[in-house]
Amino acid sequence: MVVTPLAFDLFREADLDAERVFGYDHDGVACYYAHRYVLREPRSDDGEEFYAAPAYSESVSAWLLRDERWLIHRVVRVGEDCGGRGFYSFSESMPR
């Protein structure tokens, strides 16, 4: 029940751990969308050496349905050891 994408554009942020994907149907209309990003914070195990640990991350995939609604799957993770929680929703517009 989704519109099938035939072409894709991928955008990656060089300085951040983030990317965005757009998929387009045969008319050039966006029918697929996805993004993911990770926010990091400095952490240390010994107080001397620091590393960037994931503090928050989000991934979203969305498909345009034939009835012109968007089916959205979102996964949010808090912390580096969290498996995250995913959920589905519907929207009248493409997520941003």
Q: pLDDT at position 14, please?
A: 77
The pLDDT score that the predictor gives to residue 37 is 93
Instruction: Decide if 24 contacts 30 (C-beta within 8 A).
Output: yes
For 16-58, how does the pLDDT look when each residue is reduced to its tens digit (9 = 90+)?
Answer: 889 999 999 999 999 999 999 999 899 888 888 999 888 999 9
85 against 74, higher pLDDT: 74
| pLDDT mean over 7-20 | 92
Domain chopping of the chain, boundaries? 7-91
Order of all β-strands in the sheet with 7-13: 7-13, 17-24, 30-44, 50-64, 70-78, 85-91
